[in-house]
Structure 1
Amino acid sequence: MAKNKNTNTLNLREKDPYLTREQQKYDHPLPSREWIIELLEQAGVPQKIPTLAEKLSITDEEFEFFERRLKAMARDGQILINRKNLVCVAEKLDIVKCRVEMHKDGFAFAVPLKTTGDKDFVLYERQLRGVMNGDIVTVRPAGLDKRGRREAQVLDIVERGQKSIVGRFYLERGVAVLEPEDKRLHQNVILEPDSVAQLQPKSGQVIVAEIESYPENHRPAVAKITEILGDYADSGMEIEIAVRKHKLPHEFSTGCLKAADKIPDKVRATDRKNRVDLRDLPLVTIDGETSRDFDDAVYAEKIGRNYRLVVAIADVSHYVQPHDLIDIDSRERATSVYFPRRVIPMLPEKLSNGICSLNPDVERLCMVCDMTITYAGNVKSYEFYPAVMKSHGRLTYNQVWQWIENKTENQFSGCLNVLYKLFQILQQKRFKRGAMEFETIETQMIFDDNGKIERIEEVHRNDAHKLIEECMLAANVCAADFLLKHQHNALYRNHSGPTPEKLATLREQLALLGLRLGGGDDPQPKHYGELAAQITDRPDREIIQSMLLRSMQQAVYEPENEGHFGLAYEHYTHFTSPIRRYPDLLVHRAIKAILAKKTYDESSWQELGAHCSFCERRADEASRDVENWLKTYFMRDKVGDVFGGKISRITNFGVFVTLDDVHIDGMIHVSELGEDYFQYREDLMAMIGERSGVRFDVGDRVQVKVARADLETSRIDLLLISEVKKSKKSRKSTQFDDRLPEGKLTKKSSKKIQIATSVLDEAARLLAESDAKSMRKAKRKKADKTSETTPKARKKTEKPKKSVKIKPKSESRQPAKSNQSDSPRKRARAAKQRSKN
């Protein structure tokens, strides 16, 4: 009997449909994850680990490794191992694995690690005891909250997102505490006395502490100091804080650096094998003046009525192999992070600025997208192939645009003129396609030798920037098409349009501004583009652009192609920047595998896409933090100075003003707007005084004084010192204020109506008094008449000793002077309305 049982279990293990794959990966393969989940589902009830191991014929030597596999599956959210040590299928329990993203106001969002299209879960304070920002948790859906958002219950903390914390050191009643720089960490951290005594930080200094024990219920976290970064205002401190606050990997591992050192500085003869030789093709790089890593080069020529466009991209995949030491570090970073004066690269400098960078006049390996584009802007054909090239020039955007604009003749003129003509064709095609294009103001900080901001300059995008952008877009679309045609796994760059809820909100906001978005319930990119063209000359253009962008969903990396709404592409991926973006490196590997008639696969494309999307958002937040801090530090010397500016945003707590020349935003608090109570009218998107009727609109010009520049919050406070100078849009909207509802009145028309109203009220009062006297008089006459004519009354009047109370008839039966519709109040109200009209 036992023998038969053993034979059956052996057969059960051998029935694993993924056994061949596991045998290719491991010398002694364990049952696959998919097969374990299938057996658990077949069992119908949770299983004990030993029972499951027995069913799958796990030997004593294998049991430890089998347990590790189960725990890894639990970390990935595929199964749940409960406190009774029972293994449960996560989907059966409706369990979702999420990353916690705290909000500074005390609640949080649980973002599913697997992008299934479902919305994030909201977690309120009662669910967040012991949970910290960045933690990986398992949650169970728990219905909807009052606002219709999905709530969830936290079941377990799978992985901690915070290993160390950066913040300020303080002593509170003799207790050493760390106040986190990250405001999403709501509680101070208690510091171990030994580490404080050893390093002896000064009050207010910035320190880094490693967490020893995590918060639980009402007990705070405990940590020990590992590093003192210095004083808060030290040069470069803002970047050191941002790096640690956002958990940016900023130091390469020893193994990664050693592996990079072994990579040759030059292209070897063996590297050129099986590659197309493009060294004589006059490819050039066009980048910014301060760029150091060049990952794309371009060339164009006219062929009959068509054009040939060659986009050569640095072949990082030749030097960084899957799962090697360099790949492990670059995957963790997923993107380069750009700060003013400093870059945290995805790859070691030996690669990013060295052998992978398409520097001029040196041989470099590249992956090429060679396209034939028609005179109408359509890609007629394309080809991908590995090549070796030599950049013939390191050009800059401003330099190229100056040459094209002035028609300057030089060695690059032929190629650049063809590129510019092709750009015009592609741009025209872009407009017809309906792609969105918003012109935003970008700034650049100029530093002196001491690292202090000298000035902030506006950066103007010229056609040379757009030229390179169109070339890269064309190559990215071809890469996505190539992957789809060969049905190979990779990461696509997806951008979805508006959700029904966001679309409804957008339409309401636009209607208040006299604007309309076409497309009905299913607007297309062209409808957004048409609206963007309408608002070009409006003073509130920037806030309307923000509305349009907020109505759409965030672009993400996903293994299934969903198209790019903003660019109006049916398929799109990232291929052109493998030096600074990990998804591009993955796309290169996939394309190379197709060319070699092989397959490149990852264990979980879905999780890899979610990781790359998260790292991209993290980098943006860190860069924004540093820029805001630097701008605030720059304005410390400007306290008391007067600036002109334009209202860029209005909230219920104040008005934000973009200052002229420095392009920095400051805020006038609602209590500082004037001698009145100001209310934010969301329906009008304006701030309006209750009594004065003074109105602030986006786009209005104001004059302000800098009151404070607070480094702690990176906030600049302003004081209003001038009258509002209305924008053209605002002046137009107030020409008919006498007919507008309450809240839209100008100061002058409001005063007129107040005077008219007081006069009418006084007239109504006098009329009411007069009518009341007349009615009392009429009642007395009627009573006298009744007493004289009624027999019963006459009889009673003959007995003077008894007092008689005469009860008047009901008012409804009296012949009143005026009916209900002509009552004094009605007449006064009608007169008041006629005056308004």
Structure 2
Amino acid sequence: MTNLTRQTVLDYLANNPGETNKRDIARGLGVNGEARRELRLILKQLEDEGVLSRVGKRSFARVDTPPPTGVVEFTHLDEHGELIGRAVGRDGLFGPDILYMGPRGKRRDPDPGIKDRALCDVEEGRDGVWRARMIKKLENRREAMIGVFEKNAHGGGMVESTSRKDKRSFLIFPNDANGAGDNDLVRCEPLPSRGHGPKRGKIIEILGQADDPRAASLIAMAAHDIPDQFEDAVIAAAESAQPVKAPREDLTNIPLITIDPADARDHDDAVYAQQDSDPKNPGGWRIIVAIADVSAYVPFNGLLDQEAYKRANSTYFPDRVASMLPKALSAGECSLKEGELRCCLAFEMIFSKDGSKIGHRLIRGMMRSAAGLSYEEAQAAIDGDPSDKAGPLLEPVLKPLWAAYAALEKKRGERAPLDLDIPERKVELSEDGEVIGIKVRDRFDAHKLIEEMMIQANVCAAEALEGKRADLIYRVHDEPSNEKIQGLHTFLDTLDIEWTKGEKVTPARFNRLLTIAKETDRHHEISEIVLRSQSQAIYSQDNLGHFGLNLQRYAHFTSPIRRYSDLIVHRALIRAYDLGPDGLPEEQRVRLEEIASHLVERERASMAAERDASDRYLTAFLADRTGAEFEGRITGVAKFGLFVKLDETAADGFVPVGSLGREYWHFHEAYAALVAEDSGQRYELGQPVRVKLEEADALSGSLLLKMLSDPRPKRKDFKPSSRSSFKRAKVSRKPGRPSSSRGGVPKKGKRKKR
């Protein structure tokens, strides 16, 4: 019998992924008699520790390794529009992302969509990517769908999905219509159905009218569970909230100012700078960053706290803000309004003349904002055109702030954070909610000043809590994975740009690559690949550092009005430094890992909702320009087509592979290109193109485009790869229609009444 240890069990599972139940493991390890009890204990310990996951009543799998045959739930589309899933265990999803590759053998079921489950064969490729081939689709999605009700003469009708990723439609009987009218935007849930034909559904909520210009935000909020309204009890709690009694330092004689967007209503940070008077720090700076003291008004586990935790963050749409806290706090008592007495938490930071931080001090205080300026107003004053409000502040407040920022900027240059210059666009609406234009947001030194001072305060928060050995939630950004770096290396190799594999990956190295790229005609492709190679920033109880900012420790402290993570950090600081009775309670301290996971989940939902709403508004803006031609750039390449971002509006559209011509097109991963089978011509990531708008569906946010630009000529050094990485893209039967039935592909044609 093999010496039975935790490691022998793990090694056996790694080497025998097809033998996962207790009997197989026992037989393989030669375990019998009394030793079976020891094996059961080891399996239970590994399961409790999260090292193993159950994939059946008596079967186990390593959490980092999917079983060779098992159930996969498909969760999302990646940046290429490919369907991604994870293995299903008894306690939920586990293991790495798995790429869907189609059915195993002859197709019996339609391809799965997001939230669908299927029995799949799963294997890891030489490139480290896990791939699944479907054996059988197991179940239909049971969650509700957002759609448009098309009512018939009998009071029933059909509900068609508003999502590009959800292809369902439901037949509604009159008794299940819930009073919905024609063209109402509704939430519909499926009803049990048998056999073939239309699936039945029931309308459970009427959200509004589909032709309302503001429907884009309603759809996005409903689809991603972003609450828009507060219950009366929560509003009443906010209106009656009083700050907790705690000792506070008087900061009212310091002319702290807020600098925010011109249309901002919540002002959660204020800044001040002056030269350090300490003779030991000649030319140094004293900077104060004061933040609204939200913890004082939001007691743990009260109505406000429960609602804030559920929402996790504020979500910003072109026509509204779905706030984390009611207006009485977010735009009232917790907003650092000009001239109003406000509670705050602040860091006083001391920097040398070259921007090195010498020390910091945490303050719980009272402040009164000397002025609320917009970014444009503050920048104009520095540039020599001060407004009546900014003029008196120029010498005593604004110029010292800019001088202090100049010192911080020196140190930032040495730190060399990742420098991806991505323009931000704003959708501008009329009072009626109609899109009147798309504006690129200006970025001034005033933005950079506030950004850098907030970063320094966030670093102070992490350092202050670590100094007290206190638990906290970090904001972490891991370095790119080996798989992402390998993909970057392979792509750069096709451009004859060197990327040494053994050299340490740092933000500065990416910056050097981006600088080199600017001297070539391929800088857009390279910037896109660099962006996609980055990990996503998350919240975690474990400190992984922040790769993008090139910081060893970082925590969110500066926006507790709109991020629950910052409220947790405030409470942790109050507890660690004994600043009042409203510090982090033990009930939350022991749940920080769970809280961090919830915050990440809601943050991603919020980002997806903001993106979906913007897509729909942009599509509505372009709806009356069908047939127009636009300049754009290929931002995504998949085997079923090309994703193109339009230069004028930054709207994203789709060119189906079937509309590219009569040749077969192959998706080549290494080249990030669709390559014509016979001619070798190609459409590549980052390639500038001209396209024609064929169709704009505002409800789904879909733009269907026709390619007008010719493909690039065949590369002289091009050599087709093996079939595994050189995938044949089937031409659609109908010109202009995508061949894939999976999510992310725009629908064709307007909805017809049934």
After TM superposition, is the score higher than 0.5?
yes
Q: Which amino acid aligns with 2:698?
A: L
Task: Note if 1:307 corresponds to 2:303.
Answer: no
Per the TM alignment, residue 581 of structure 1 is displaced from its structure 2 partner at its CA by 0.3
Aligned position for 2:479: 497
Per the TM alignment, residue 288 of structure 1 is displaced from its structure 2 partner at its CA by 0.6
Aligned position for 1:195: 176
Is the partner of 1:446 in helix, strand or coil? Answer: strand
Aligned position for 1:52: none
CA distance in 2 between counterparts of 1:672 and 1:142 reads: 33
CA distance in 2 between counterparts of 1:117 and 1:462 reads: 44
Select the structure of larger CA radius of gyration. Answer: 1
CA distance in 2 between counterparts of 1:478 and 1:231 reads: 48
Q: Which amino acid aligns with 1:288?
A: P
For residue 696 of structure 2, the aligned residue among 705, 709, 714 is 709
C-alpha distance after superposition, 1:473-507 (max 9, x if no partner): 00001111111121111110111112222211111
Q: Structure 2: 5+ residue runs without aligned partners?
A: 1-35, 42-46, 134-139, 277-281, 721-754
Residue pairs, 1:20-31, within 5 angstroms: none
Aligned position for 1:35: none
- CA separation of 1:185/1:706 partners in 2, compared to 1, >3 Å: closer, same or farther? closer
Residue pairs, 1:176-575, within 5 angstroms: 178-182=159-163, 187-189=168-170, 191=172, 193-196=174-177, 199=179, 201-202=181-182, 205-209=184-188, 224-263=202-241, 271=245, 274-303=247-276, 304-406=282-384, 410-517=392-499, 520=502, 522-536=504-518, 538-575=520-557
Task: Note if 1:585 corresponds to 2:572.
Answer: no
- CA separation of 1:78/1:647 partners in 2, compared to 1, >3 Å: closer, same or farther? closer
C-alpha distance after superposition, 1:318-376 (max 9, x if no partner): 00011111000100000100000110000011100000000101000000011001112
Q: Structure 1: 5+ residue runs without aligned partners?
A: 1-40, 47-72, 154-159, 725-729, 745-837
C-alpha distance after superposition, 1:383-421 (max 9, x if no partner): 112100000111111122222233756423332222222
Aligned position for 1:635: 622
CA distance in 1 between counterparts of 2:443 and 2:91 reads: 37
Q: Is the 8 A contact 1:107 1:124 kept in 2?
A: no
Per the TM alignment, residue 513 of structure 1 is displaced from its structure 2 partner at its CA by 2.3
Q: Which amino acid aligns with 1:384?
A: L
Is the partner of 1:119 in helix, strand or coil? Answer: strand
Per the TM alignment, residue 670 of structure 1 is displaced from its structure 2 partner at its CA by 4.2
CA distance in 2 between counterparts of 1:504 and 1:343 reads: 40
Q: Is the 8 A contact 2:66 2:87 kept in 1?
A: no
CA distance in 1 between counterparts of 2:640 and 2:153 reads: 34
CA distance in 2 between counterparts of 1:628 and 1:528 reads: 30
For residue 119 of structure 1, the aligned residue among 79, 96, 113 is 96
C-alpha distance after superposition, 1:185-206 (max 9, x if no partner): 565456565232x51543x542
Is the partner of 1:572 in helix, strand or coil? Answer: coil
Aligned position for 1:659: 646
Which stretch has the larger CA shift, 706-715 or 104-113? 104-113
C-alpha distance after superposition, 1:121-160 (max 9, x if no partner): 679999999x99679x9x999974568556999xxxxxx9
Which stretch has the larger CA shift, 468-477 or 426-435? 426-435
CA distance in 2 between counterparts of 1:376 and 1:464 reads: 20
Per the TM alignment, residue 220 of structure 1 is displaced from its structure 2 partner at its CA by 10
- CA separation of 1:550/1:216 partners in 2, compared to 1, >3 Å: closer, same or farther? farther
- CA separation of 1:187/1:466 partners in 2, compared to 1, >3 Å: closer, same or farther? same
Q: Is the 8 A contact 2:239 2:329 kept in 1?
A: no
Per the TM alignment, residue 314 of structure 1 is displaced from its structure 2 partner at its CA by 0.4
Q: Which amino acid aligns with 1:309?
A: I
CA distance in 2 between counterparts of 1:639 and 1:479 reads: 51
CA distance in 1 between counterparts of 2:549 and 2:502 reads: 20
CA distance in 2 between counterparts of 1:116 and 1:170 reads: 37
Higher relative contact order (CA 8 A, sep 6+): 2
Q: Is the 8 A contact 1:316 1:356 kept in 2?
A: yes
For residue 621 of structure 1, the aligned residue among 608, 611, 617 is 608
Aligned position for 2:148: 168
- CA separation of 1:357/1:90 partners in 2, compared to 1, >3 Å: closer, same or farther? farther
- CA separation of 1:114/1:380 partners in 2, compared to 1, >3 Å: closer, same or farther? farther
CA distance in 2 between counterparts of 1:319 and 1:162 reads: 40
Q: Higher helix share goes to which structure? A: 1
Aligned position for 1:828: none
Q: Which amino acid aligns with 2:219?
A: I
Per the TM alignment, residue 437 of structure 1 is displaced from its structure 2 partner at its CA by 1.6
- CA separation of 1:407/1:349 partners in 2, compared to 1, >3 Å: closer, same or farther? closer
Which stretch has the larger CA shift, 230-239 or 219-228? 219-228
Per the TM alignment, residue 650 of structure 1 is displaced from its structure 2 partner at its CA by 4.4
CA distance in 2 between counterparts of 1:200 and 1:482 reads: 55
Residue pairs, 1:712-727, within 5 angstroms: 713-721=700-708
CA distance in 2 between counterparts of 1:476 and 1:140 reads: 46
CA distance in 1 between counterparts of 2:684 and 2:704 reads: 19
Per the TM alignment, residue 671 of structure 1 is displaced from its structure 2 partner at its CA by 4.8
Is the partner of 2:383 in helix, strand or coil? Answer: helix
**Root-mean-square deviation over aligned CA pairs:** 4.6
Aligned position for 2:27: none
Aligned residues between the structures: 647
- CA separation of 1:678/1:152 partners in 2, compared to 1, >3 Å: closer, same or farther? closer
Q: Is the 8 A contact 1:98 1:113 kept in 2?
A: no
Give % identity: 29
CA distance in 2 between counterparts of 1:616 and 1:516 reads: 36
Q: Which amino acid aligns with 1:169?
A: F
CA distance in 2 between counterparts of 1:292 and 1:161 reads: 40
CA distance in 1 between counterparts of 2:56 and 2:523 reads: 55
Aligned position for 2:731: none
Q: Which amino acid aligns with 1:280?
A: N
Per the TM alignment, residue 525 of structure 1 is displaced from its structure 2 partner at its CA by 2.3
Is the partner of 2:176 in helix, strand or coil? Answer: helix
Per the TM alignment, residue 109 of structure 1 is displaced from its structure 2 partner at its CA by 3.1
